[in-house]
């Protein structure tokens, strides 16, 4: 696997413009890493929402028959 980052230009604010080059194996690794990270974050979000829903008491709906 080969990943290379080259600084093309350094900006006055401390940021920089960079050029990344990589082979097919590195691309596959980066895509897998990103997708795994997104899915993990999404599952954690769902778990938190479920916990929050359990902790929050439900409000009764006001149903009137006309």
pLDDT in tens, 10-58: 999 999 999 999 999 999 999 999 999 999 999 999 999 999 888 877 6
Q: Is the pLDDT of residue 1 over 90?
A: yes
11 phi/psi in degrees, rounded to 5: -95, 155
> Using only C-alpha atoms, what is the Rg of the chain?
24
CA separation, residue 46 to residues 3, 26, 31, 37, 59 (Å): 34, 30, 23, 14, 21
> What are the residue ranges spanned by the domains of the chain?
1-9+24-54
| Percent helix / strand / coil, the chain, rounded to 5 | 50, 25, 30
pTM above 0.85, yes or no: no
Residue 48 DSSP label: H
């Amino acid at each position: 696997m080969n990943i290379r980052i080259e600084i093309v230009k350094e900006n006055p604010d401390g940021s920089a413009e960079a050029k990344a080059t990589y082979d097919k194996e590195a691309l596959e690794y980066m895509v897998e890493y990103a997708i795994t990270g997104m899915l993990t974050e999404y599952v954690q979000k769902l778990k938190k929402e479920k916990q929050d829903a359990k902790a929050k008491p439900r409000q009764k709906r006001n149903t009137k028959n006309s």
